[in-house]
A and B are shown apart, each in its own frame.
Chain A
Amino acid sequence: MSKYLVNLKINNMPVSVEEGTTILEAARKLNFRIPTLCNHPDLTVAGNCRVCVVEVKGSRLLAAACATPVSEGMEVFTNSEKVRVSRKHIVELLLSEHNADCTKCFKNGRCELQDLASEYRIGDHVFLDLVKPESKILDISSPSIVKDDSKCIRCQRCVRTCTELQGVSALGVVNKGDHQRISTFFNKPLHEVVCTNCGQCINRCPTGALTERNYIEEVWNAIYNPSKFVVVQTAPATRIALGEDLGIAVGERVTGKMVAALKKLGFSKVLDTDFTADLTIMEEGTELLTRLKKALVDKDESVVLPMMTSCSPGWIKFQEHMYPELLDNLSTCKSPQQMFGAVAKTYYADKINIKAQDMVVVSIMPCVAKKFECERPEMRDSGYQDVDYVLTTRELAMMIKQAGIDFDKLEDEHYDSILGESTGAAVIFGATGGVMEAALRTAYEIVTGREVPFTNLNIKPVRGMEGIKEASVKIKGVKPEWDFLEGVELNVAIAHGLANARALMEKVRTGEASYHFIEIMGCPGGCLGGGGQPIPTSPEIRKKRAEAIYAEDSEMIIRKSHENPEVAEIYQQFLGEPLGHKSHDLLHTHYKPRKRY
């Protein structure tokens, strides 16, 4: 359907835009920036913060540019006297209810409200300070997310994120009028409700009301402690986004610089979660093939299909709350982060002759749910807490700045060995569809002895930002031991963002679709859009990060997990075989149902 063009003038400049365009979007086309707070490119329009007000000729009231569609002949002024005075008052009013103790705020320097206050040079207290005692509620119950109501401006970006993108609705709006708060069921602490710790709310909070629980000081203390051997692992998606917080363009890969910076920070060894991503593929790929055999050949009814990936801790907790009846579908594989911790404090500690109790494992993750994951009681198979501290990509950027490192000028360095070698299959774990692609590259080859039938190993149907993706791979020419898979059409599905995951789970639950294997990532775009990644985020930013991930993959010398020489070595020297006894003890786990309501 073609849309009508609407002609209007903004600040006396004519512009033609499609019918239905908002004033805000039309102004952007003319490069007039109208400030916004409650507006976000990933979310529906709310129009509640009012900082985007503009004057429309002939209208007595100012209009919210984000929520007002253009009309023919409209004349808009984005910076008239009335607009400027009103907008400044609106910011002043927002500040009157905001705990503006900026110097002590974790978001200091990266707060949208602070930026606006600075832009409008808000000086005097025009309005009384109205931060109510009842709003001074600080929720530090979650190991992942800190919620400070005194900084909340009730723009509801978090509520829309939790509902629209994640389909969780742990956060809602409670009470009304001047008592309105963003809160949970009966104002319970975050760790008691259905919050999955995905942290998408943090990525979209314009102020310091929602931030990650930070462990920067703890990690510095470990580094400075001479009796501790501090190893750091970096998740696939950190290397394509860290630069954004350090003055480098979106989509630029900084793998080598990140490694160099981590060495400069004083970590004893800089290792790679990508190594255990490859290990995950070995375990999970084997698990899938074993399940297929048990289900299709042995007709073992205790084995359920589709098998679902288990790398994303936000997704895991979502499933525990929302679909406890489908927990048996989850792969028993721990996430790469946790496999790393378990292997580091056993195999690796032995190899380098360090006692596990003297080792501190730090993870750099694009994720805040990983902070929760590492504290799960199931994640202590080494005899100690397998991963001690999880830092987000953002926290690492802060440490690099604190250390006075000129990141842009760093020379590329390589990961230490062992547990530093990885493949292209591992790095694509950071994008939606990546685990599926990596698993297919390996599983297909195990079964047929040949590479997956896609040009340059790029399994395009599982890539891209569509919410739910489906693909089928026909298995042909199998090795004799896999003859039951000859001619089988392997049906797979991929979802990212928990609202999409929920839609896919409904299909599975009702039997509407039958798949063999499903990949779910809790965050939009997969880990590259994770709750611990640099802020801001938008569909365009995530697209650029995805391009960077696939570029990184295509440049890797080894691009299939089973060809990782360090993975072969760990099986040979330590684990034995995938799904073997040792793997079972260290690399696999179980899940527990949690309350949905």
Chain B
Amino acid sequence: MLTTEALVKELVEKNGRSRNSLMPILQGIVQKEHYLSEEALLSVAKELDLSAADVYGTASFYTFLDTVPRGKNIIRVCKTITCHMKGKDEVINALSNALKIKVGETTHDKKFTLLTANCLGWCHKGPVMLVNDEVYPDLTPQKALEIIEEYGKEAK
């Protein structure tokens, strides 16, 4: 595996050093490391000659650019009103019990992080969750657990 510094260098080579390159670089880091560490943001600031506070400001603005360590698979259950009325709480409780973590936490084996998200635009098929970049609509607690089980196998 690449060191963070090498990863940043590679992404900078690919995306360039302009201010516009900041977002794709940050996204590239999250793809590989699941979150943006201090070390990662400092190397980005250095490579792009931006202030570290500025880079952190950008990172902290976006929900999908996490600045705390996350698991390999990030589950985001929609918490907005339609999904709420269609039973997102039951889905979250089922996931929480199965994974033995609360919302916002990461499993001990670093395989899963359980989060909530604002409206994912799937109100007609709620409740809905996102695992990494994949959308799973029409959930029931049972269905959610089956999906997670599959990810658990892959993550071995």
- Seen from chain A, the residues whose Cβ lies within 8 Å of a Cβ on chain B are 163, 168-176, 183-186, 193-194, 596-597
Contact = CB atoms under 8 A, between A and B. Distances in A.
Q: Which of A168, A172, A176 has the most chain B CB atoms inside 10 A of its CB?
A: A172
Interface in B12-59: 38, 41-42, 45-46, 51-57
Given A171-B53, A176-B60, 8 more contacts: A163-B51, A172-B51, A172-B56, A174-B60, A183-B53, A186-B38, A193-B52, A193-B53
Nearest to B62: A176
B61 A176 contact: yes
Contacts of B4: none
Nearest to A168: B51
A596 B47 CA distance: 12
Interface residues of B, number: 15
Contacts of A596: 46
B52 A597 contact: yes
19 contacts: A163-B51, A163-B54, A169-B54, A170-B51, A171-B53, A174-B56, A174-B57, A174-B60, A174-B61, A175-B60, A183-B53, A184-B56, A185-B41, A185-B51, A185-B52, A185-B55, A186-B38, A186-B56, A597-B42
Contacts, number: 48
Contacts of B55: 185
A184 B41 CA distance: 13
B93 to A, nearest CB: 26
A342 B61 CA distance: 48
B57 A173 contact: yes
Contacts of A183: 53
Contacts of B53: 169-172, 174, 183-185, 193-194
Contacts of A163: 51, 54
Nearest to B61: A176
B54 A172 contact: yes
A163 B55 CA distance: 13
A186 B45 contact: no
B67 interface: yes
B46 A597 contact: yes
Q: Which of A168, A173, A174, A186 has the most chain B CB atoms inside 10 A of its CB?
A: A186
A173 B45 CA distance: 16
Nearest to A176: B61
**9 closest residue pairs by CB, A with B:** A169-B51, A172-B53, A172-B57, A185-B52, A174-B60, A597-B42, A185-B53, A597-B52, A185-B56
Q: Which of B45, B54, B57 has the most chain A CB atoms inside 10 A of its CB?
A: B57
B60 to A, nearest CB: 4
Contacts of A184: 53, 56
Nearest to A177: B61
A174 B38 CA distance: 15
A364 B54 CA distance: 34
B42 to A, nearest CB: 5
Contacts of B56: 172, 174, 184-186
Contacts of A173: 57
B141 to A, nearest CB: 30
Nearest to B37: A186
Contacts of B38: 185-186
Contacts of B42: 597
Nearest to B57: A172
A159 B47 CA distance: 22
Nearest to B46: A597
Nearest to B42: A597
B92 to A, nearest CB: 21
A502 to B, nearest CB: 11
Nearest to B67: A186
A175 B61 contact: yes
B113 to A, nearest CB: 19
A313 to B, nearest CB: 21
Nearest to A175: B60
Contacts of B52: 185, 193-194, 597
Contacts of A193: 52-53
A402 B120 CA distance: 59
Contacts of A172: 51, 53-54, 56-57
A126 B38 CA distance: 42
Nearest to B51: A169
A159 to B, nearest CB: 9
Contacts of A169: 51, 53-54
A597 B39 CA distance: 10
Contacts of B54: 163, 169, 172
Contact of A194 (B51, B57, B61): B51
B121 to A, nearest CB: 18
Interface string B123-141: 0000000000000000000
Interface in B94-122: none
B9 to A, nearest CB: 15
A145 to B, nearest CB: 15
